[in-house]
């Protein structure tokens, strides 16, 4: 019987200049994939390089993590851009990340979009297509991490990109498989044990567990965790330990190709 | 007998958002290589894309034009960075330019450094090496445009990069072959006819003409002209016409490889 | 009989670093009030200072022209901020402008909001109130330039600020007195003679002329013109000449208090 | 006999957007003066407002803390500006801080320059004069916090500004009264108890204690402490406790005027 594996991903390298957010070194001991900010919503060439080096030495797979050009808002606000402009924004950031990775002796394996832009791509086909177009134009061998049940997941698959479907460890799901809006009560889960148990249930069932307890079938390639507080790190560690305890192996989908080279 | 050819290059795409500097469209009808700003001292993904598209449709070769991250100072001020930091700054910008070029259906053929960073690389071996290291790490097939008699020219050649040696149409040269500092009288030439005649003499002699009239032997692959005013455009046009009149063909050193693909 | 007077205002100082937009020197020979950008959507301390000095020596009244912190988008995009955040953004910019004015030996007489933020304040009472709150907190003696028939005009008057009601020389008006959206055909007028004649009619009638030719009564204290192209300057000059030809005196409402000191 | 009093000041509000540096709330329970960043090297209107509100409710005096426009370098790098440009940079930031303070219901009592710009003003008379010119132009009633034995201290006094002379709790002093360069061994002190004892000795002796143990007479109005780490907070608390234990009262020089209003 094939061994069940899953990836753990987290955003990192989201500081700027003298600023830092989250404990990236600690997080890199937990996750198998690192979404590295590309200098627009956070990150700068120094931080990108440091983060990629740290990831590389820990054999953590590296992804580009583009966002809106909005340092002030940390990429969490919708900045009005046309889909064409989003294509250029995303392409630019992927290229910058690839170059820093090349300089650091490693490489970028995937693209995961950040914040408000990722939220748009969950429902807006135009934005999702823009991300796909940019990714394919820059490097069609990159895979895309896409939220389960999102427009981006569906369209990226249709348009021939390799897709890694993502669930969130600490976010509640509505009955349609979409993330419950953060404005709703209970949208964010806080208890490490409950979070970890739910993650294991979802990975084992290959399904999203909704707030009402329904299980919606989906591929699950990667689980998003956070590292921006001691509590977040605790959740991430508990999720990892529970998955391993259930016999599920933590492994990036890119791992084999990555380290053979 | 082999036909004498030379390249004309100019900085462009140096606006930002709603701002524009220079008449890039007019300039692209004169030059054979376009140094496209990469978003740090000027430029943004939209402008990079527009500029590259315009260059591509006119069969003008495209270079990345990285500078200090200093929009306020337009890259003309020395911002204190270590050589290591300069490596990452340059790598980031080359990668971003390559990605926008890929998205635009064309590609980056060379790197030419901007403003204060380029001036440093004329004399400072550490900075010159940083630029070389970054370029090689990102893409060792890129060539580097380097000022004649500069540290960058010498070291890039030693370290195996393809180098295109550059002279400036409108700048006076000291007796050691270096650019006369802008602070000195007569450092910048203004008369289109005199500028064009001097350029032709230098290209024909394969030598720099100093302020005292001495000719210092050098390779001359490319001539830098400007397009930031009507007068600058007039100079560029006169230089081009005079070179053609002297039987020197205007052609990018990258042209053949570029359009065969 | 009292002499009819009106003010001509224009945005200026909207460059950044090496960038410039419009011919401010030419514009300052036409207008009676200068809306000086404050460094967020455009402008920097150098440009603010130069622009204020030029205005001061020409006896042109100086206003602060705050906008969204969005250099890339030139303040023309709605950036998501709460009303409370808008209060702080506007207060900050007014204070900065006052300080540069004090340093330049002159002072700020009024506030006129820029771009997308001004458009919001035309209809959104929360945003209008935020602008009023900020202005009063920083300096209740400042007046506010507000678009005729806008939420800002009504609320600023109700809340005790001195208001100068503004019409646009080159914009068409809908039947409800609001600016016709730029997306609609005919929203922007281009013919200098027709524009100038319409302005004179409106000032003489103390009324807005709608696209259907209806006249909607309003106070008219100031007329907005532009200087970002040769054509715009031509319109501004024609408007000024026509007003003067009709015996209407061009004069800032702040002029007397300003130059007595 | 007059009670001996001294002020404790610390930099704060130096985050940006989602970024934070230091525990300002904890620091505000220790210090008597808060140097609030003005948005150029750190800080934004939201953070300025929050920080000033927190300071105000704790009866901590508020100062403007201008720096170079260099968020990336956190104001710690020398960015090439002329003295005239520094005047405008400083004026702009003071005005912005005054406006946010007015909006927050409090006011700015003094100016303390940040980072690399403050270091320049220690020795460079041109830069020191630029800071003085800017401060006087914006509000001549502001006092200036100046490093003991600095050009700024001497010139500000000569030019009629109220000056508060500052020593650093954790920095070693050379025999000429200047701060030992951070590049030298022992330039930064780390032991809270030793730091606090030295501070008490200096305040009691009204003298700087040099690395060789010499005491150089100086006025001491305020002591700079830090809050960017748990260790820094510990030092600040120990300094405060030791001063109080020695019968020295912690009090801002602006306190009386401040809260009478």
C72: nearest CB among B17, B21, B76? B17
* Cβ pair D95:C95 closer than 8 A: yes
A98: nearest CB among B85, B95, B100? B95
Chains touching D (3+ CB pairs < 8 Å): A, B, C
B78: nearest CB among D69, D72, D80? D80
Provide the shortest C-alpha distance from residue C21 to chain A (in Å). 22
Of C90, C42, C38, the residue nearest D88 (C-alpha): C38
Per-residue pLDDT, averaged over B101-126, amounts to 97
DSSP-derived secondary structure letter, A7: E
Q: Which residues are bridge partners to C5 per DSSP?
A: C249
> What average pLDDT does chain B have?
95
DSSP-derived secondary structure letter, B247: T
> What average pLDDT does chain A have?
95
* Cβ pair D73:A17 closer than 8 A: yes
Question: E strand or H helix at B249, and its extent?
Answer: strand B249-250
Which stretches of chain A score pLDDT less than 70?
1-2, 255-261
pLDDT of D22-41, one tens digit each? 999 999 999 999 999 999 99
What is residue A182's predicted lDDT score, i.e. its pLDDT? Answer: 87
Chains touching C (3+ CB pairs < 8 Å): A, B, D
Q: Which residues are bridge partners to B11 per DSSP?
A: B35
Q: Using DSSP, state whether D163 is helix, strand or coil.
A: strand
Instruction: State how beta strands C5-12 and B249-250 pair.
Output: unpaired
3-state secondary structure A95-130: HHHHHHHHHHCCCCCEECCCHHHHHHHHHCHHHHHH
Give contacts of A138 with chain B, Cβ < 8 Å.
99, 102-103
Give contacts of B44 with chain C, Cβ < 8 Å.
72
Provide the shortest C-alpha distance from residue C167 to chain D (in Å). 29
Distances (CA, A) of A168 to A146, A222, A235: 11, 9, 12
Provide the shortest C-alpha distance from residue C191 to chain B (in Å). 24
Interface B-C, measured as beta-carbon pairs within 8 A, has a size of 32
B17: nearest CB among C18, C20, C74? C74
Give contacts of C80 with chain A, Cβ < 8 Å.
73, 77-78
Give contacts of D69 with chain B, Cβ < 8 Å.
72
What is residue B42's predicted lDDT score, i.e. its pLDDT? Answer: 98
C19: nearest CB among B21, B44, B76? B21
Interface test with A, best of B92, B105, B107, B133 (most A CBs within 10 A): B92
Looking at chain A, which residue has its C-alpha nearest residue B104?
A137
Provide the shortest C-alpha distance from residue D214 to chain A (in Å). 36
Cβ-contact A61, A252 below 8 angstroms: yes
C77: nearest CB among A72, A73, A80? A80
Chains touching A (3+ CB pairs < 8 Å): B, C, D
Of A38, A39, A35, A120, the residue nearest A86 (C-alpha): A120
Q: Which residues of D touch A (CB under 8 A)?
A: 15-21, 42, 44, 71-74, 76
What span, in angstroms and rounded, lies between the C-alpha atoms of D141 and D154? Answer: 18
What is residue D254's predicted lDDT score, i.e. its pLDDT? Answer: 84
CA A141 to chain centre: 17
What span, in angstroms and rounded, lies between the C-alpha atoms of C34 and C55? Answer: 7
Q: Which residues of D touch C (CB under 8 A)?
A: 39, 45-46, 48-49, 85, 87-89, 91-100, 102-103, 134, 137-139
The string of DSSP codes covering A128-146 is HHHHHHHHHHHHTT-EEEE
pLDDT of B116-168, one tens digit each? 999 999 999 999 999 999 999 999 999 999 999 999 999 999 999 999 999 99
Provide the shortest C-alpha distance from residue D3 to chain A (in Å). 41
Cβ-contact A62, A36 below 8 angstroms: yes
Provide the shortest C-alpha distance from residue D98 to chain C (in Å). 7
Q: Using DSSP, state whether A207 is helix, strand or coil.
A: strand
DSSP-derived secondary structure letter, A41: S
Helices (H), chain D: 24-28, 45-57, 83-104, 115-123, 125-139, 151-158, 192-205, 230-245, 255-260
* Cβ pair A97:B95 closer than 8 A: yes
B74: nearest CB among C17, C72, C73? C17
What span, in angstroms and rounded, lies between the C-alpha atoms of A32 and A248? Answer: 13
Give contacts of B88 with chain A, Cβ < 8 Å.
45-46, 48-49, 100, 103
Per-residue pLDDT, averaged over B100-126, amounts to 97
Interface test with D, best of B80, B82, B86, B89 (most D CBs within 10 A): B80
Q: Which residues of B touch A (CB under 8 A)?
A: 39, 45-46, 48-49, 85, 87-89, 91-100, 102-103, 134, 137-139
Looking at chain C, which residue has its C-alpha nearest residue D103?
C137
C78: nearest CB among A72, A73, A80? A80
Give contacts of D39 with chain B, Cβ < 8 Å.
none
Give contacts of B80 with chain D, Cβ < 8 Å.
73, 77-78
Provide the shortest C-alpha distance from residue B13 to chain D (in Å). 24
CB atoms within 10 A of CB D111: 28
Q: Is the pLDDT of residue D182 over 90?
A: no
What is residue D1's predicted lDDT score, i.e. its pLDDT? Answer: 46
* Cβ pair B103:A49 closer than 8 A: no
Chains touching B (3+ CB pairs < 8 Å): A, C, D
Would you give per-residue pLDDT tens digits along chain C (261 residues)?
A: 456 999 999 999 999 999 999 999 999 999 999 999 999 999 999 999 999 999 999 999 999 999 999 999 999 999 999 999 999 999 999 999 999 999 999 999 999 999 999 999 999 999 999 999 999 999 999 999 999 999 999 999 999 999 999 999 999 999 999 999 888 999 999 999 999 999 999 999 999 999 999 999 999 999 999 998 899 999 999 999 999 999 999 999 986 544 333
Looking at chain A, which residue has its C-alpha nearest residue C80?
A77
Could you tell me the pLDDT band of residue D255, with boundaries at 50, 70 and 90? low
Sequence-distant (6+) residues with CB within 8 A of D202 are D167, D208, D209, D215, D220
D17: nearest CB among A18, A44, A72? A72
Of A6, A18, A61, the residue nearest A249 (C-alpha): A6
* Cβ pair D72:A17 closer than 8 A: yes
Residue burial C207-234, b: 16+ Cβ < 10 Å; e: rest:
bbbbeeeeebebebbbbbbbbbeeebbe
What span, in angstroms and rounded, lies between the C-alpha atoms of D166 and D159? Answer: 18
C74: nearest CB among B18, B21, B74? B18
* Cβ pair D99:C95 closer than 8 A: yes
What span, in angstroms and rounded, lies between the C-alpha atoms of A2 and A199? Answer: 20
Beta strand residue intervals within chain A, DSSP E: 5-12, 33-37, 61-65, 110-111, 143-147, 163-168, 207-209, 215-217, 222-225, 249-250
Looking at chain C, which residue has its C-alpha nearest residue D132?
C103
Q: What is the CA radius of gyration of chain B?
A: 17
Provide the shortest C-alpha distance from residue B10 to chain A (in Å). 22
Q: Is the pLDDT of residue D3 over 80?
A: no
Provide the shortest C-alpha distance from residue B250 to chain C (in Å). 31
What span, in angstroms and rounded, lies between the C-alpha atoms of D21 and C139? Answer: 31
A78: nearest CB among C69, C72, C80? C80
Of D240, D256, D200, D177, the residue nearest D31 (C-alpha): D240
What span, in angstroms and rounded, lies between the C-alpha atoms of D141 and A130? Answer: 56
């Amino acid at each position: 019987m094939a061994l069940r594996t899953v990836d753990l991903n987290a955003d990192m390298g989201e500081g700027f200049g003298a600023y830092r957010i989250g404990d990236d070194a600690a997080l890199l001991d937990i996750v198998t994939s690192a979404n590295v900010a590309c200098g627009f919503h956070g990150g700068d060439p120094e931080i990108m390089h440091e983060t990629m080096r740290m990831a590389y030495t820990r054999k953590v797979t590296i992804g580009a993590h583009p966002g809106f050009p909005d340092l002030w808002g940390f990429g969490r606000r919708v900045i009005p851009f046309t889909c064409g402009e989003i294509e250029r924004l995303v392409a630019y950031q992927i290229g910058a990340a690839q170059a820093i990775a090349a300089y650091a002796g490693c490489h970028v394996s995937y693209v995961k979009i950040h914040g408000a832009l990722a939220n748009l791509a969950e429902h807006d086909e135009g934005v999702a297509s823009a991300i796909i177009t940019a990714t394919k134009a820059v490097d069609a061998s990159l895979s895309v991490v896409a939220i389960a049940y999102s427009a981006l997941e569906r369209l990226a698959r249709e348009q021939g990109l390799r897709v890694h479907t993502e669930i969130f460890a600490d976010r509640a799901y509505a009955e349609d498989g979409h993330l419950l809006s953060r404005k709703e009560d209970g949208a964010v889960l806080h208890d490490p044990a409950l979070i970890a148990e739910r993650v294991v249930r979802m990975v084992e069932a290959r399904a999203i567990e909704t707030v009402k307890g329904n299980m919606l079938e989906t591929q699950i390639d990667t689980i998003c965790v956070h590292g921006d507080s001691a509590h977040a790190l605790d959740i991430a560690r508990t999720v990892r330990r529970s998955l391993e305890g259930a016999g599920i192996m933590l492994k990036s989908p890119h791992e084999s190709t990555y380290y053979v080279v």
